[in-house]
Amino acid sequence: MAEAIQAAITAVGHYLPENRLTNADLEEMVETNDEWIRTRTGIEERRILKDDDKATAFMGAKAAKEVLEQRGITGEEIDTIILATVTPDYLFPATACLVQNEIGASNAYAFDLSAACSGFLYALTTGANFIESGRAEKVLVIGADKMSSIIDYTDRSTCILFGDGAGAVLLEPSEDETGIIDYIHRSEGDTNLSLYQPAGGSLNPASEQTVAERLHYARQDGRTVFKKATVGMADVSAEIMEKNDLEADDVAWLVPHQANLRIINATANRMGLDSDKVMVNIDKYGNTTAATIPLCLYDWKDELEHGDNLILAAFGGGYTWGSIYLKWGWK
């Protein structure tokens, strides 16, 4: 019987726009203040892609090119590209196809995946399945969002939270015991539409009325989403530890979706982890939706050691949530 193949991360890339939107800037735009934002979210600034002619594909391609450079390979060697986003350049074609062209991945097939803030987790396990089945040798997984394109900067409940950015990883067959060990993903149809973009889809296509009523911007019931996310992300993180007989001492790092510092802390507490084992960069970037987790991996890549046990966890619109247990394989 052939040995089971595991998918390991072998390179990490990122892209962040240069423009910074600080809490002080937001004080000039809406009725809010720096202390209120920091104490309730942990955010101090976020990056904004200002160029009108650049969008999610641009950022995703930048992150992907860094992955190729770090791994010392060309785009032609990539088999599959999966791009997680809720801010595609177009409804179609897939943004992943635009990235494919930009990086010269002429032998790959590419598609988008939409699961909001859980998108990167879903994309990572989807990519791992291609590796584990033997159908692919090199899978590029990207999380990228230009959230500023769907944020109403007169709505203080959302505009303080989100930023733009992209992160990417390369998945390849593991050469040892490292790689993606296990995952738990969940979803629950949010019929109350607590976190959604009202218009732009087939139910409410663009019209003069939808534009006038500002229905093409993201909306959320912050209190409801906060409660669901706090419970969901903490529960699924504790569940994957229990499922794999992991104690807090066995976990090197929690890599959480960066939505709110209080949600992150609640998840760490449920797992029994001290704060020095938790990746947090929400203060610098805000919530970049599908990009948060790969951006964490990029920022901490020099501190990660071969064989480290990582728990990745996220919660997003849909509702969607999940966790991944992986052993770090990049040497």
Which of 97, 265, 287, 296 is catalytic? The answer is 287
Closest among 310, 328, 270, 316 to 291, alpha carbons compared: 316
Is 185 one of the catalytic residues?
Answer: no
Is 309 one of the catalytic residues?
Answer: no
Which of 14, 23, 97, 117 is catalytic? The answer is 117
Which of 257, 260, 265, 296 is catalytic? The answer is 257
Is 159 one of the catalytic residues?
Answer: no
Query: Which residues belong to the active site?
Result: 117, 257, 287
